[in-house]
A and B are shown apart, each in its own frame.
Chain A
Amino acid sequence: MKAQFWGVRGYVPTPGAAFLRYGGNTCCVSLRGAGGELLALDSGTGFCQLGVALMADDFQAGRGELTLLITHTYWDHFLGLPFPGIVHIPGNQLRIYGPDSARGPLEMIYDNMLAPVYSPVFGLAHIAATHSFHPISSEPFQVGQLTVRGMPLSRRAQSPIWAYRVEEAGRALVYITDARYTDDAIWREAVHFARDAEVLIHSAPYLRGEAVRDYGHSRVEDAIELALEAGVRRLYLYHHAPTRTDDDLDALVARCRGELAADGQRLDLDAAREGEIVEV
């Protein structure tokens, strides 16, 4: 299984020279299985860049198939979905998994997002590619040879947030973003969920002690502790804060690696970089 980062920024895209190396587009990671299976995790503006890349493929001819795993429907994880050309070509098929909200099912949330007041698409009915929506549950499912599991991270009824674990031939990639470890039970479940993963992609916008407007996000230290406790091999810090420049992220990675080394830990740590391909 090969993963590729298309958007690693949290909250809001950050165009500009200071953000080029790590990238300024919002959350999206693609996964390619050995059998050609294609998955994407989240559809922030990175999804638009993925869409451009896929245009060279079957998607141009209307024969593309993509399974999209949505963690939650906040803009930085979902708003890129209607823009790429691939969703406007008839014949392409998108299977979209994600949580329903107390406000309505995922399909309705997307339809509202495409309402005429917000989008020239005028509603989901006018998107040309075939879209099917599947409420995510804790029941594992298959995409070709890949096994996908979901885990609820936040039970806020209005905006539930899920994490995903994708396995192929015993090797796992775990994707956790916008986590709120509000109690021990959620923490223990997350450790269990990430157990022995080859790769953990975890949101880490801020450090503990950084004074920021708090949307309740887990911190860099949480991501590292989770990776260590779960026996993860490689951790990618993800969902970078819009204020973090490339130099800031270099420094953050150096500091984290230094602390891990001083602790005698063998965890491989990096900050997710747009465009980077990760062999799982």
Chain B
Amino acid sequence: MFARIWGTRGSYPVARADVLRYGGNTTCVEVRAANHCIILDAGTGMRLLGEALLREPGAPRQLDLLITHTHWDHIIGFPFFAPIYAAGWRLNIYGLSRTRASLRATIANALGDPLFPVGLEDLRAELHFHEIQVGSAFELGPLRVRTAQANHPYRALAYRLESDSDVLVFVPDTGPFHTVLFGDERIEWTGAPGAGNGAEARALAEMRAQVIELAQGADWLLYDAQFTEQEYVRFPHWGHGTADQAREIAEAAGVRELLLFHHDPRRSDAELDAIVAAQRAAARPGLLVSAASEGRLLLKGGT
């Protein structure tokens, strides 16, 4: 298995001189195993992946897209993914099953008028939608896929992709597991610390345990580290975490390399360098720490 990072940014894409190294496109990661291509999230990085696939001789024409959740930053690359306008491509799209609207309707409503000029009926690729659950486990070619719930507004999935030799775990959006328990309802943040009542605290502890279980022994853990400590205490209700919190999960799960992910749009390359340096200094021996950078290839023995 190998993977390539096409988008690292959270919230919205940014084009600036001070984000050139880590990148300004929103979340998208390509995973390859045998001749299978699995795409994690459809942020603006997906546009670049689409161009690369069209250039690649013999690229797989059946693709699996695993969506963590449909917040804008995770789907806005989809209509700029050129293969969907070409015949002969097939896309299996996986995402969380919701009660209010189907995954297909959620994507269709985002793309259609009055927000975007493309209807699903305008696409020439074959699209198949698969609604999955927290805890779903299935196989995609040679890869075993498993999901857990991330602590994020309106719920989001985290994915584990495992081959016989490698494990990649993708948790782009999650808050920590000690202050706010997110679900399908909006959290009214009053500024009071603590995880509310005992039931909430137990649910958070359980969710944390499931995420650590999902990340167990991962070669690469891509994990939400959008906020600094100061930002987190002001905005705990947005459902994102800090680099310290990411490292704590990586250490508990015995991960080989932690890649800080879902960078805040305002964070410069230099600031990310400093965050990485601080995490490396604090990390338990044996844990590699980096910040995900656009274009990076993840290949064991090759990094």
> Interface of A with B (CB < 8 Å)?
9, 11-17, 19-20, 23-25, 45, 48-49, 52, 72-75, 78-80, 83, 101, 103, 109, 112-113, 116-120, 122, 126, 156, 158-159, 213, 215, 242, 274
What are 29 A-B residue pairs whose CB atoms fall within 8 Å in the complex?
A9-B15, A12-B44, A13-B14, A13-B15, A13-B24, A15-B20, A15-B23, A15-B25, A15-B44, A16-B20, A16-B24, A17-B20, A25-B14, A45-B14, A48-B265, A72-B114, A79-B76, A83-B265, A103-B113, A103-B114, A109-B114, A113-B115, A116-B154, A118-B70, A118-B72, A120-B71, A120-B152, A120-B154, A159-B113
The answer, among A17, A112, A120, A274, for a CB contact under 8 Å with B153, is A120
Q: Which residues on the B side are within 8 Å of A74 (C-beta)?
A: 114-117
Main SS of the interface on chain B?
Answer: loop
Interface pair B72/A101, CB less than 8 Å apart: no
CB proximity of A5 to chain B, nearest CB, Å = 13
- Given A74-B117, A159-B117, 11 more A-B residue pairs with CB atoms under 8 Å apart are A12-B44, A12-B76, A13-B13, A13-B25, A15-B15, A75-B76, A75-B115, A116-B153, A116-B184, A117-B106, A158-B114
Chain B residues within an 8 Å CB radius of A112? 109
A12 contacts B11, C-beta separation under 8 Å? no
Please tell me which one of the listed residues B44, B70, B113, B266 contacts residue A158 in the complex, with CB atoms under 8 A apart: B113
Minimal beta-carbon separation of B87 from chain A (angstroms):
14
Is chain A's interface secondary structure helix, strand, loop, or mixed overall? Answer: loop
Q: How far is the CB of B230 from chain A (nearest CB, A)?
A: 14
Partner of A20, one of B14, B17, B116: B17
Q: Is B12 an interface residue (CB 8 A)?
A: yes
Question: Which residues in window 89-139 of B have CB below 8 A to A?
Answer: 98, 100-101, 106, 109-110, 113-117
Question: In the complex the two chains form, what is the Cα distance from A83 to B238 in whole Å?
Answer: 12
Given contacts A79-B72, A116-B184, A122-B153, A45 and B117 within 8 Å (CB-CB): no
CB <8 Å contact, A83 and B70: no
Task: List the B side residues contacting A14 at CB < 8 Å.
Answer: 15
- Residues on B with beta carbons closer than 8 Å to the beta carbon of A103: 113-114
Q: B interface vs A, CB < 8 Å?
A: 11-17, 19-20, 23-25, 44, 47, 70-72, 76-77, 80, 85, 98, 100-101, 106, 109-110, 113-117, 152-154, 184, 186, 237-239, 265-266, 294
Distance A224 CA – B16 CA, assembled complex (angstroms): 29
Find chain A residues with CB under 8 A from B294 CB.
15
Partner of A15 from B14, B114, B115 at Cβ < 8 Å: B14
Min C-beta distance of A95 to chain B, whole Å: 20
List of B residues within 8 angstroms of A116 by Cβ: 153-154, 184, 186
Docked complex Cα distance between A158 and B13 (Å): 27
- List the 8 shortest-distance A-B pairs measured between CB atoms, nearest first: A24-B15, A15-B24, A158-B113, A101-B114, A122-B186, A120-B153, A116-B154, A15-B15
**Nearest-Cβ distance from residue A103 to partner chain B, whole angstroms:** 5
* B80 surroundings in chain A (CB, below 8 A): 11-12, 242
Cβ of A268 to closest chain B Cβ, rounded Å = 26
* CA gap between A117 and B102 in the complex, in Å: 11
Q: Which residues of B contact A156 (CB under 8 A)?
A: 113
In the complex, A101→B184 CA distance in Å? Answer: 29
Give every chain A residue within 8 A of B13 (Cβ-Cβ).
13, 15, 45
Least Cβ–Cβ distance between A170 and chain B, in angstroms: 35
Across the interface, which residues of B come within 8 angstroms of A20, CB to CB?
A: 15, 17, 20
* Nearest-neighbor residue (CB-CB) of B238 within chain A: A120
Is the Cβ of B115 less than 8 Å from the Cβ of A52? Answer: no
- Cα of A213 to Cα of B154 in the assembled complex, Å: 35
**Of the residues B24, B70, B106, contact of A24 by C-beta under 8 Å:** B24
